[in-house]
Each structure stands twice: as C-alpha cells, then as structure tokens.
A and B are shown apart, each in its own frame.
Chain A
Amino acid sequence: MAQDQTHEPIIKVRGLSKYFDSFEALRDVSLDINRSEVLCLIGPSGSGKSTLLRCLNFLEAYDGGEVRLEGDLIGWKSTTDNPRKPLKSEALRRQRQNIGMVFQQFNLWPHLTALENVAEALINVKRMSKADAQDKARVALAKVNLSDKERSHPANLSGGQQQRVAIARAIAMEPKVMLFDEPTSALDPELVGEVLGVMKEMASDGMTMVVVTHEMGFAAHVADRVAFLEKGRLVTCVPPQDIFSRTPDDPRVDAFLKTYRERNVV
C-alpha cells in the first residue's frame, strides 16, 4: 500500500454537492487530483469555481459527497452521520496545514511586515522558535524573489509583491497541495507576469496545484489538465490541448472560450 500511494491521486473528490440555502452551488462533482499535477479550473462567473476550491480546505462546509486528501476525509468526522458532524477544530487545523491557499485579494495581515506575515504560522502553528521561523520565512521570500522586501508592510508593496508574499506565506508551511483562487485577477496587467512566473516555477518544482483562473495562457501552457465548470457541474476535465488547440468537444466549453478567442487571448 505505502509505495502505491504516490500513484494514487492526492485529492479525491466524490459526488460533491454544496447548497447556499436552497441554491445548489455544486452538484455531484467528482474529480481526482494527482500528485505534482497542475489543475486549472475555468468556467463562467458564478459557476462554482471558488466554491469548489473552498470546499477542498473546508472554508465552505460541503453538504454531500466527500473530499479526501491522501485518504483523509476533509472537514467531517464521517459521511454516514446524519446530520454530519464537523471535525474538532484541532483536527481541521491539522488538515488545513497540508493545504495552502492564495486568494484573489491577497489577504495579507496589514499590521505585520512581509517577513512577519510569512513567519506567523511557523511560530504559532508549527511552534518553531522565532529565529528558526524567520530563517524559514526568508527562504520562502527568496523563492518568490522578495528577499529585499522582508521589512515592508503590505501597504508599501505593489499588488504583485503582496500576492507573492501571500504565496510565500502558504509555501512556508510546506503544504502538500496549493489552491489558488484567481491569484492575478486583482492585479494591474503589468504585474500579472511576476506572479504567474512564480507559480510556473512552483509547478516545475513539482507542487500539486489547483488554480482557478481567467488566464487562459497559463491554463494552456502550464496546466496538466483543465476542468470546466458550469452551473455547479463539472462539464469536462481534460488536457489543455483538447480544448485550446482544437475545437472543444463540448459546445458549452466552446462557447465560453469563444469570448477569449475573440479578444485574441488564446
């Protein structure tokens, strides 16, 4: 079993559903994410991309189905209780340490410097000494090319720099999977490249990544597979060439990509 594990998908999503009151935001989504894979989630606004991503680390408590990370059920004690009982916060926090997340709005803590943002959880979650945590945080900041900004507060960083600090904050925890929710959508166009560059580097280092994005260039060139969501349903999940370099089989995907083709982005 143990040696088999590396061939097993690292995340298994089965029959996932999520309701906001009576609105069905996700319906019966099943998806495997393999180790070191880059999976891009695309789809129209409101199709449930963020919701799906947030179910993976239980920022949203999903209602039906399951999410497993290396076999470990995320968030719930079991799927058979009715109603389901959430894990103790201690256990959920342990799971979340394996799943890094990067948000569209960066969500840095503005009262802390770049270095402190990255070191915070190393000290208060991983229980490292302050000196060790800072060393490790410096390594993470170097990975995102921000060694010279460690003493800056977020207010004094550009959007692209803030997002790279946010990435460093996540990778310093050495997660097994990284989730990105439109990491470049809040950035000025000239800053998008520096963030995507860091993400490409992470991908080539073998990080498992799930990326919600409108950057079709990134999806086409970096993703191993692209999943298309519509109205809370997973329409297709295929290698990028199947939808970018020829006409997609599914008319819904074709219609969605047409809007990009018309603007010459793909």
Chain B
Amino acid sequence: MELDLFIRYGPSLLSGFAVTILCWIVGSLGGLVLGFVLACLYRFGPAPLKWFIFGYVEVIRGTPFMIQLFILYYGGPSVGILLSPVQAGIISFIVYGSPYFAEIFRSGFNAIPEGQIEAARCVGLSETRIVTRIVLPQMLVPITAPLTNFFIILTKETAILSVVTVPELLYETQTMASETFTFVEPFLVLSIFYWLMVIGTSRLGAIVETRVTRHLRRT
C-alpha cells in the first residue's frame, strides 16, 4: 500500500464522506418526517387522501431508487425543475425513503391496543394528545429496531447518488481509483467509512431501544 496516496486523496475522500453524511442525514430525517406525516394522514385523514397515500407508497416502493433519481435530475429540467446534483440527490432520497418510514409508523400505530386509546378518550384526551402522549412514546418500542435497520440500509443507498455526479464517497473513491489505478486502497477506505456509519447508527439505535423499553422491564 502506498501511504502517500492517502495523503494526496485524503481531503477528497473526507469531503466525499462529508457529502455522504449530509445526504444521508438530511435525506433520511426528511424521509422520516414525511413518512410520519403520511402515516398520520393515512390513519386519521379522509378517505380520498388515504387512497392517494396508498398509491404513493405503492409506486415509490415499487420503483428503483436510481430510476427515481434519474427522473428527477434528468427529467426535471423539462418541466422546469432545475436542481443541483446534491439537491436532486437529497430530495429523491427523502421521497424514496418516505414510504418505508410510513409503513414502519403505520405498523407502530397498529401495535398500540385499541383499549388504551379508548381509555384515553374516556378521560377526555384530545386525539392529538392521544397521539403525542399515549401512542408515540409507546410506538417507539416496536419501531426503533426497524427504524435503525432502515437507517442502516440507507447509508449504503447514498452510493447511488454518484450516478448523478453527487461528489459523495463512492464518487470520490472511483475518481481516486481511476486516476491512480489502485483499487484495494480506495475501496478499503470506502468500506471503513460505511462501516463507521453503520456501527454508529446501530449503537445509537441500541441506546434508544434501551431507553424506550425501560418501563417494560419488571423490577
């Protein structure tokens, strides 16, 4: 291995890592929020909206992320949507993740026994309070693991953003590889970076899970 390679390409690899982290965090948190809104509208909204959300979930889940990204980035200009690669990457990341998040939240809603909600109605709690005080805090128990899992999957999906020239980790790694004709070193670094994200996410998920399940433990 040639160490000076890393000194030369270190800055661009680090910048690629930063772009990956940015797209991943903004994109997946955006998807999380959008997914939650969709799940709430699906549960509490009027019937026509439910059908719309159902269709949205089916279509987005049924098509590959790369195609969605292509449509937004290359097809966007023809309908007047001009986006930078990073903008297109983040927006499509939000859209791509949202139905999966919505499904996780939907199953979380279903995990709360109806009786608890009836009990809340009986003492006069409003529907909003029922969601924020009764449903959400408990929902974290069954959804933390699938959420963590999906965040981990999304770390690696960021690699697809390289196809629209987002200067993220894979893009920078490929640049380094093609310019230096080395492969082991750049992709080793790439793997380490992804591994750091994955390990960080799963540790965080474990901490959250310990916190939210505390009340269930018998003392």
Contacts and interface: CB of A to CB of B under 8 A. Distances in A.
Of the listed residues B113, B116, B138, B219, the one surrounded by the most CB atoms of chain A closer than 10 A to its CB is B116
Contacts of A89: 126-127
B7 interface: no
Contacts, number: 77
B125 interface: yes
Interface string B200-216: 00000000000000011
A155 B218 contact: yes
A103 to B, nearest CB: 6
Interface stretch (A61-69, A120-128, A221-229): A120-128
Contacts of B216: 110, 153, 155
A141 to B, nearest CB: 15
Contact of A96 (B113, B123, B129, B218): B123
A111 interface: yes
B215 A111 contact: yes
A263 interface: no
Contact of B123 (A125, A153, A156): A125
Interface of B is mostly: helix
A233 interface: no
B219 A156 contact: yes
A57 interface: yes
Contact of B125 (A101, A121, A170): A121
Nearest to B122: A101
A156 B218 contact: yes
Nearest to A58: B121
Given A89-B127, A109-B116, A59 B122 contact: yes
Contact of B138 (A99, A111, A170): A111
B118 A59 contact: yes
Interface residues of B, number: 23
B118 A107 contact: yes
A224 to B, nearest CB: 24
A107 B116 contact: yes
A125 B126 CA distance: 8
B215 A103 contact: no
Contacts of A107: 113, 115-116, 118-119
B115 A109 contact: no
Interface of A: 57, 59, 89, 93-94, 96-97, 99-101, 103, 105, 107-112, 120-121, 124-125, 153, 155-156, 166, 169-170, 173
27 contacts: A59-B121, A59-B122, A89-B126, A89-B127, A93-B121, A94-B124, A96-B121, A99-B122, A101-B122, A107-B115, A107-B116, A108-B116, A109-B116, A112-B215, A120-B125, A120-B133, A121-B123, A121-B124, A124-B126, A124-B133, A153-B215, A153-B216, A155-B215, A155-B216, A156-B219, A169-B123, A170-B122
